[in-house]
Structure 1
């Protein structure tokens, strides 16, 4: 089990601030790339989901996960999700 670290005050405040994340689109919330690439995404409904390579999200396939980046593909068209700023 990984050792827990405290959440910095500014991160906790941003994570719970109303309107900090867009609510009208799929949003990348976090990425984990050390061992097996995984990402956390927030659906329009507010549902948070953990995804990995090959998973299907909103009828798109996860084709790459890098630090702060999720790449999706559908019918040959690529879309990229990046972490929100601000």
Structure 2
């Protein structure tokens, strides 16, 4: 997953996003940035058999307070798989 996350971050930067936050842990990865008055927030979590789950949001910077609540709820519910079958 780590290599794919790195590729996605580099792709976002190549698309003009200025990434201001990056965090990678065993329970997942998150990154965010700005481009043309918009915010990007992305998150990745490890799944089973080397797979990963992702979500990505883009929203107006002017609506950051509203979307911060949405992002926090998504992060809370989007958790690492505890056990694989």
Q: TM-score, normalised by structure 1?
A: 0.30
Write 1 or 2 for the structure with the bigger share of helix. 2
TM-score, normalisation: structure 2: 0.30
